[in-house]
Structure 1
Amino acid sequence: MAGSAATAAQRRRTSRLWLALAAVLVLVAASFALGAFITDQLTRPVRSVDEDVTPAALGGNFERLTLRSADDRADLDAWLLPVPGSDVGVVLVHGKDGSKSNTWGDGFVRLALDLQAAGYQVLMLDLRGHGASGDGRYAFGFMERFDVIAGVEHLVEEANVAPGSVGLFGVSMGGASAIYAAALDPRVGAVWSDAAYADVWPIIEQEWPDASGLPMFVLPLVRWTHRLLHGFDLQGVRPVDQVAMLDGLPLMIVHGRSDRLVPVGQAQVLASAAPWAGVWLLEGVGHAGAFDHDPAAYTLRAIEFFDEALRVRLARGW
C-alpha cells in the first residue's frame, strides 16, 4: 500500500512537471509568435513612388537599371544619370519610407540633375523594400549597405568611374547606410551624410510608443525576436562604430538643430568620432530639412564638397 501511494505521488509530481514545462513552451511559442508578428509589421517599409517625377520629366537624360544587391538578397530599381567620359560619380540614397522619386518632393532628382550638370555620373536607387525595388525589411543601414555597394559597383564596373572617385550622398537612414557602405568598400571616396543617426537604438526607444501603440515592456521581446529572425541585433546598429573605419575619408555631417526625430546630439556624436569631418549644423531646421531650407546653397555646398573630395584628391593622386 505504501509503495502504491509513493508511486502515485511520484506520478502526480511528474505530471505537474510536464504540465509546467508545457506551459513554459506554450508561453515561449506565444511570445515568439507575437514578437514575430510585431516585428514583421514594424519593419515593413511603406512604399511611396511619384511616377511623375523622373530625370526626364525634369528635362534630363537617364537610364533605368535593375541592380542586384551585393548580398544577393534584393533586386533594386535604379536610375543612372550618365556623363560620358566622366570618371567621378555619386550614389544618392534616400531615407526610411522614401524613394528616389519623392525625397524632398522632386528635390532629390533636381539635386541629381545639378550633380550631373557639374560632371558627375549619378546613380539613384530605391533601397530594398522601398519604391520600385524588391521586397525587404528595414535594417536601419545594417543591410542596406549592400544596396549602396551595388550602386558603387555599377558606377565603377559599368560606367567607368575610377575606384576611389565614388561619392555617397545619404539622407537619414540613407546617411547611415552610406557610412556603413563606405566602411566596407574601398572604392568609396567621400560621404555626405544628412540627418543620420550615430546609434539607432535610442531613436527606436524614443519613437516606439507612437510608432507601435504598444507599451515599452514589449520592445525587448521585439528586439529578441528580430535578432532570431534576421540575424542581427538592432541595438548593435551604430554607424558611429563604422566611422573609425573610414580612416580620414572625406565626410560631411549635415544636421538640423531642431531635428526632433534624430536629435542634433546624434550628429555631434558622429562628429566626435570623425574629427577630420566637416560639420554643418543649421539653426531652425528639422529632420532632413536642410535642402528645403535653401536648395541653392545646399546644392552648391554639396557640389563643392565632392569637387574637393573627389576631383582635387584624384588630380593630386591622393
Structure 2
Amino acid sequence: MKKAPLYSRSRQRAGAPMPTTDTAAAARPSTATPSPTTSEPAAPAPLAQRPSRWGAFVARHRMLVASCAAVALLLAGGVAGRALIAPPIQLTQKDIDAAVRHSLEKEPLPSAYAKAHAAVRPSVVRVVGLDDENEEPPKPGDDPRQHTRSTGTGVVIVDNGTILTNLHVVVGSKRIKVTFADGHESDASMVGAQPENDLAVLRAKSIPDDLVAATMRGTGDLMPGDEVIAIGFPFGIGPSTSAGVISGLKRSFRAPEGERLTNLIQFDAAANPGNSGGPLITMDGAVVGIVTAILNPGEQGTFIGIGFAVPIENAAAAVGLPPF
C-alpha cells in the first residue's frame, strides 16, 4: 500500500544550500510524484472566539440597556446635586424671637394708642360756642381762661356733617363754630339735644370733601381695666390725646347746676375743660362714649383722675340712630 506523500511545514530560506543527492533521495521516496507546485499550503484559520453572555444580552436588548443607563445617570446626578446643596437650617424659637426683636428695633411698630388715635383723629372736631354772632372764636395758644367756657370737642358720626358734642358746650350760644381735622372751618347749628345725657347734635353748614365718620361700638363687653384714649381740646390745646383705662361702669354724677347723669363710664385718661364732647375710644379705634364731666371737689375744676363719659348707645339715640 502506498503512503501519502509528506511535505515539510517549514519554508526553505532563499540561498540555503541544497541538500545532497543522497539526502534528498532519502527524504523523498523514489516512487513519489513530484508536487506540481512549490508553494506551501495556507495555515488553518484561527478559531472564532465565543461571545460572552453579557455581550449577547446587550446585543438582544440594546434599548433596555440604554434606558437603564440613562436612568442610572439621572439618579447619580440627583444624588451628587443633593450632596452639593447644604441642608436647610432648622430654626428654633430662639432664632425666631431674635429675628423679630431685630426687626422691631430697626422699624418699631406704632403703639396701640397711636393706632387708635389715627383711626378716630379724622373725625374729631373743635367746637366753639360764641355769645355774639360777630364774635370770633379764641385761637389756639390764647389765654386758657378764654377756653374754659367756649371751647369743647365733637366727633363726626355721620359723614354729612352730623356731630355729637356736650350740650353744656353749646347751650345758650348764638353762634357755633366747628373746625375739622383738615383745618376746614364752618358754622354749625344745633339740630337735636338730649339734656338728660348732656348731649347735643350739631350739623355743619359746610364740610370737607373727604369727611370721615368715626366708627362706633356698643359698651356691652366693656370691662374695668380695658384700655381707652380720650381725644379733645383741653383749654383749647389740641387735638390732645390722653390714655388710661376703664375704671368702672354704670356710674352716676351730678354736675354743679346740672342734672344728675346716670349709666356713665368712669375712666382715668386725663380730661380737662375743653375735652367735653370728645370721644372715648377703645384700642380697636371705635368710639364707646362721649366725654362729659370730670370730678374735682376743689375749685380748680381740673382733672384729678376721675372722668365720666356717656355711653355711645345713649348718644346714638340722641341722633336717632338705632342702638348697638
Structure 2 length normalisation: TM-score? 0.27
Larger radius of gyration: 2
- Structure ranking higher in strand proportion: 2
Structure with the largest fraction of helix = 1
TM-score in terms of structure 1 length: 0.27
